[in-house]
Amino acid sequence: MLVIDSSIVTYSPAYTIVPTYECFNRCTYCNFRTDPGQSPWLTLAAAEDIYKRLQNEQVCEILILSGEVSPRSPKRAAWFQRIYDLCELALGMGFLPHTNAGLLSFAEMQQLKNVNVSMGLMLEQLTPALLKTVHRHAPSKLPELRLQQLEWAGELQIPFTTGLLLGIGETSDDWWETLAAITQIHQRYRHIQEVILQPHSPGNQQTFDAPSFDPHQLPAVITKARQILPSDITIQIPPNLVKDEQWLLACIEAGARDLGGISPKDEVNPDYPHLQQKELREILQPAGWELVPRLPVYSQFDRWLSGELQGAVNRCRKFVNLLAIP
pLDDT of residue 6: 78
- In CATH, the architecture of 8-323 is Alpha-Beta Barrel (3.20)
pLDDT of residue 3: 41
Residue 311's CB is within 10 A of a number of other CB atoms, namely: 11
pLDDT of residue 39: 85
Sequence-separated (6 or more) residues with CB below 8 Å from residue 189: 151, 153, 154, 155, 157
DSSP, residue by residue, 70-95: PTTSTTHHHHHHHHHHHHHHHHHTT-
Among 43, 275, 310, 305, residue whose Cα is nearest residue 191: 305
User: pLDDT, tens digit, for every residue of 201-227?
Assistant: 999 999 999 999 998 999 999 999 999
Looking at the DSSP bridge assignments, the partners of residue 9 are 291
In contact, 293 and 252? CB cutoff 8 Å: no
In contact, 113 and 304? CB cutoff 8 Å: no
pLDDT of residue 1: 36
Among 131, 75, 70, residue whose Cα is nearest residue 105: 70
> Residues in the chain with pLDDT < 50?
1-4
Sequence-separated (6 or more) residues with CB below 8 Å from residue 47: 17, 86, 89, 90
User: pLDDT, tens digit, for every residue of 11-23?
Assistant: 999 999 999 999 9
Task: State the Cα–Cα distance between residues 165 and 139, nearest whole angstrom.
Answer: 17
Among 117, 181, 176, residue whose Cα is nearest residue 149: 181
* Helix/strand/coil for 246: helix
